[in-house]
Copies of this chain bind each other. A is one copy, B any other.
Amino acid sequence: MLYLEDFTPGQEIDLGSRSVTKEEIIAFATQFDPQPFHIDEEAAKKTIYGGLIASGWHTVSLFMRLLSDGLLANAASMGSPGVDEVRWLKPVPPGDTLSSRGVVNEVVPARSKPDRGILKTTYEMYNQNGEKVLSMKGLGMFARRPSGVAEQRDVG
């Protein structure tokens, strides 16, 4: 289990990759973001995107799943107060394979609550051509290591 103390500025975190299908893009957008370029293959051809692309919130959600599996499942995560500077830099069409990484910027123990702190991290997603499709600055709340719990150094 990774605690706040196990992260250091400059540390890189590999979060793995996953692909996205046309069916997944349409299913997500039908529920949450039903704009023509996300749900209607024919209508999408007539837009500036020239075809279907994933909702930006779908891309972020796919990133979140990689973060959950690649880091949070093995860490004392307590949720998040927010994210900054979310940028959708390139369209994500069906069939893209997206890989994610994080870089730790800052580790900030909380002043008022000694059992936790905030990890400030820059996260990025790249497509199979090496183009950056998503970047954002995450604020993650993590528990500090309880006294008596042994250290672990294996991140990401």
A residues neighboring B (CB under 8 Å): 31-35, 37, 47-49, 53, 55-57, 60-62, 64-65, 68-69, 72-73, 77-88
Q: Given that A64-B57, A68-B34 are contacting pairs, would A88 and B84 also be in contact in the complex, using a CB cutoff of 8 Å? A: no
The residue from B33, B47, B60, B77 contacting A57, defined by CB atoms under 8 A apart: B60
The residue from B33, B60, B82 contacting A65, defined by CB atoms under 8 A apart: B33
10 closest cross-chain pairs (CB), A and B: A82-B87, A32-B61, A83-B86, A32-B65, A82-B86, A33-B64, A57-B61, A32-B64, A57-B64, A34-B68
Smallest CB separation, A65 vs chain B (Å): 5
A88 contacts B77, C-beta separation under 8 Å? no
A65 contacts B35, C-beta separation under 8 Å? no
Smallest CB separation, A5 vs chain B (Å): 19
